[in-house]
Amino acid sequence: MRVSRPLAALTGIALLGIALTACQDQASGTIVARNDGRYVETFSNPSIHGCHRFRQDVTHVNNHTLSSMLLYTTPDCTVPPGGAGIYLNMQSSDEVVRSTGLWRSFTFAPE
């Protein structure tokens, strides 16, 4: 039984669309967290939805994903009064400034 080329092409395009849609729920890559040079944890392909808590407070974050993120000093991804979240662009790293406090959680920035 032969399948026509247009039908095969449409099927391939549909499967590619489904695969790409499924990937949008994850930040492709890794996030590495450290505390004063000591390794804390790595997140691999984390969900782009919701708040993510670090296992312990961290001073340095490497964002090796294709998504930008926001770092928070609170464990629930909220900004304390008078504080601010720190924006960390994709494929970059940042160290905590001692006056702001250690990072405890992160979310992904809306794109």
Q: What is the pLDDT of residue 2?
A: 66
Beta-ladder partners of 95: 60
Are 68 and 88 in contact, with CB atoms under 8 Å apart? yes
Q: Which residues of the chain have pLDDT under 50?
A: 18, 21-22
Are 54 and 103 in contact, with CB atoms under 8 Å apart? yes
pLDDT digits (tens, 9 = 90+) for 41-62: 999 999 999 999 999 999 999 9
Tokens 């400034």 sit at which residue? 97
Are 106 and 71 in contact, with CB atoms under 8 Å apart? yes
Instruction: Set out the domains of the chain in order of their start, with CATH numbers.
Output: 26-108 (2.60.20)
Q: What is the pLDDT of residue 14?
A: 53
Whole-model pTM: value is 0.74
Beta-ladder partners of 52: 106
DSSP 8-state symbol, 77: S
Q: How many C-beta atoms lie closer than 10 Å to residue 104's C-beta?
A: 17
